[in-house]
Structure 1
Amino acid sequence: MKLETKYLGLTLPHPFILGASPLASNLDRIRHAEDAGVAAITLHSLFEEQVLRYEAGMEAHVYAHEDSFSEAGSYFTKDVDYHYGPEEYLTHISRAKEAVDVPIIASLNGTHLGGWSYFAKEIARAGADALELNLYYLPRVSDESAEIVESRLEEIVKSVSESVDLPIAVKLSPFFTSLAHVARRLENAGAKALVLFNRFYQPDINIEELEPTPTLKLSDSSELLLRLRWLAVLFGRYQMDLACTGGVHNRDDALKAIMSGADVLQLVSELLLNGVDRIGVIRREVENWMEEMEYESLAQMRGSMSYCRAPNPEAIERGNYLRILQSWEPGNTLTETQ
């Protein structure tokens, strides 16, 4: 059984990789991930805010930029204690490369040009095999049009891709008027892969203290449906690779994502909940199922349920929508299908 796949120019033995998370925050965890069988490791992100602090100092960062960003760090307080500063992050990349044999994918997180190109070059020098740009942004002002937002993201990708020889993956949110059009713009700007999707960590509200409260809810399999939809739509339309992140927790989730068009699967929440060794368990279960179904390779299965393999995807999409709405009756529990 051939589970081999390609992602960002890397030939991987299988599609299961570690997504950006605390699971790669130190060398012991990185070695454990390799021992558990991950095909590649995505490091936790270096945030734009950290780069700004590095370049301009804490005071300039706090007063000039404190309301400018919308990451899970949207509601970071002024005294956020980042795990690594920029220089420590570069050192971490170098040490990770020395510690393991699997590819190391670095991650930059932000929404403005700033020092991204400079740090992309430093990340390349540190030895990273690829770079993931986490473009996390939530427009909040009425005069900021979709064109302005998309052009900014395109400019970031173009600037970074022209600065380094590293293959660039772009991690997106699903909240675009025309995601397929944005994907084309990012591909033209130099992106080699799309990672679907970023998760917005919505703050709660403390009604007594009258302040936002950071919250974290790990994903579950129900979040996979949105990923399946867009993997299936985007597969076969571009030269970019497709990564699925969010909602893959078991064998069936993995199979659905691959059938929809994913080249790799980034696992985080399942591993945080049940340990990194789960990645090997799920991989073996996928391999066993494929053997039972007489698949010869992952490539044979990938994209088999995508829209480009359907004779009339628009009719299927609309028909499924109507069928779901018209079949509902009080007391029924409906399950959305792709």
Structure 2
Amino acid sequence: MNLTTKYLGLTLQNPLVIGASPYCDTAYVARQLQDAGAAAIVMRSLFEEQIIAEQRALVHHLESSADSSAEASSYFPAFSEYQLTPDHYLKQLEHLKKTLSIPVIGSLNGSRPGGWTEYAKRIADAGADALELNLYQLVTDPTQKAAQIEAGMVETVRSVTSTVKIPVAVKISSFHTSLANFVLELEGAGASGVVLFNRFYQPDFNLEDLEVLPQLKLSDNSELLLRLRWLAIVSPHVKGSLSASGGVHSPEDAVKAVLAGAHTVQIVSALLKHGPRFITTLLNGMEHWLTEHGYESVEQLCGAMNHRRCPDPSAFERANYIRILQSWRV
């Protein structure tokens, strides 16, 4: 059985990639994941805010920027709270490249164009095989228009891709009016691939203290459904790579993502629940499914259930929506 797949121009031994997470913080754990069968690994994100904070410290500027209040800057973690400083990040990347034989993908996380994107070149120079650019942004300003926001994202991508020679994947949210068109715009700005999707962590309210209560909830496979829909819609139209991030917790989940058009699937929550060896379970399960259903390779499977053969995808999605609502009885 041939499980190899192409992602960002890299030939991977299978579609299972470790998503951005603490798993790269120690080479020993990263090696365990490689030995269990992981095809590539994405380092935890280096954030726009910590890069800017370090740059300010180096030039002895004040903590707050010209367009931010002191209260706003206090929302962010102190510089010492970040798990990897920018310099430590580069050293860890170099160490992982010496320790591992699988590709190591760096990760930058930001929300708007700025000088922080120059760090992409330093990550590339440190030996990263590719870069994942995570455009995490929840817009709260009602005066900002959608086109303005997306234009800023495209500008950020173009700024990064123009300064590095390694492939760049862009990780985005599902909150775009015309998501398929936006993906094509990202490709036009130089992106080699797109990761669907960011997970937006939902805070709760503490009713006793009347405070916002941040919480981390691991994904479950119900989140995969949103990824399947958009992979199926987008994959017939893109030239680059697609990766599913969020909701893959079983071999069947991984198979579904590839059928929808994903070249790779990113795993984090399932490993936090079951440990690094779960990668082997996923791989064995995928291989068993492929064999049982007459597939000879992952390449043969990829996109087999996307919208390429659907004459009117919009009508298809609308019809499914109506059919589901009509199935309810009381």
Q: TM-score range by the shorter chain?
A: over 0.9
The whole-number CA distance in structure 2 between the counterparts of 1:62 and 1:101 is 42
The whole-number CA distance in structure 2 between the counterparts of 1:65 and 1:30 is 39
Calculate the aligned-residue CA RMSD, in Å: 2.0
Tell me, yes or no, if the aligned pair for 2:252 and 2:285 is still in contact at 8 Å.
no
Aligned pair in 2 of structure 1 residues 217, 59: CA closer, same or farther (>3 Å)? farther
Residue 134 of structure 1 pairs with residue 166 of structure 2: no
Q: Secondary structure at the match of 1:235?
A: helix
Tell me, yes or no, if the aligned pair for 1:133 and 1:170 is still in contact at 8 Å.
yes
The whole-number CA distance in structure 2 between the counterparts of 1:284 and 1:62 is 51
Which stretch shifts more, 219-228 or 274-283? 274-283
Q: TM-score, normalised by structure 1?
A: 0.92
Which stretch shifts more, 20-29 or 189-198? 20-29
Unaligned runs of 5+ in 1: 331-338
- Which one-letter code corresponds to 2:62 in the other structure? A
Greater than 3 Å deviation, 4+ residue runs: 58-68, 73-80
Which stretch shifts more, 112-121 or 180-189? 112-121
Aligned pair in 2 of structure 1 residues 316, 271: CA closer, same or farther (>3 Å)? same
Deviation at 1:146, TM superposition (A): 0.4
Q: Secondary structure at the match of 1:295?
A: coil
Matched ranges for 1:126-275 at <5 A: 126-275=126-275
Aligned pair in 2 of structure 1 residues 321, 109: CA closer, same or farther (>3 Å)? same
Residue 279 of structure 1 pairs with residue 288 of structure 2: no
Deviation at 1:310, TM superposition (A): 2.2
Q: Deviations over 1:168-191 (max 9, x none)?
A: 000000001111111111111000
The whole-number CA distance in structure 2 between the counterparts of 1:76 and 1:213 is 15
Q: TM-score, normalised by structure 2?
A: 0.94
Aligned pair in 2 of structure 1 residues 206, 79: CA closer, same or farther (>3 Å)? farther
- Which one-letter code corresponds to 2:148 in the other structure? I
Unaligned runs of 5+ in 2: none
Deviation at 1:266, TM superposition (A): 0.3
Tell me, yes or no, if the aligned pair for 1:46 and 1:108 is still in contact at 8 Å.
yes
Q: Secondary structure at the match of 2:124?
A: helix
Aligned pair in 2 of structure 1 residues 125, 77: CA closer, same or farther (>3 Å)? closer
- Which one-letter code corresponds to 2:53 in the other structure? R
- Which one-letter code corresponds to 2:183 in the other structure? A
Residue 9 of structure 1 pairs with residue 9 of structure 2: yes
Q: Secondary structure at the match of 2:212?
A: strand
Aligned pair in 2 of structure 1 residues 79, 168: CA closer, same or farther (>3 Å)? closer
Residue 124 of structure 1 pairs with residue 127 of structure 2: no
Q: Deviations over 1:170-213 (max 9, x none)?
A: 00000011111111111110001000000001222223333222
Tell me, yes or no, if the aligned pair for 1:51 and 1:115 is still in contact at 8 Å.
no
Tell me, yes or no, if the aligned pair for 1:303 and 1:309 is still in contact at 8 Å.
no
Residue 329 of structure 1 pairs with residue 314 of structure 2: no
Tell me, yes or no, if the aligned pair for 1:52 and 1:61 is still in contact at 8 Å.
no
Q: Secondary structure at the match of 1:236?
A: helix
Q: Deviations over 1:35-70 (max 9, x none)?
A: 1110000000000111101111397344657679x9
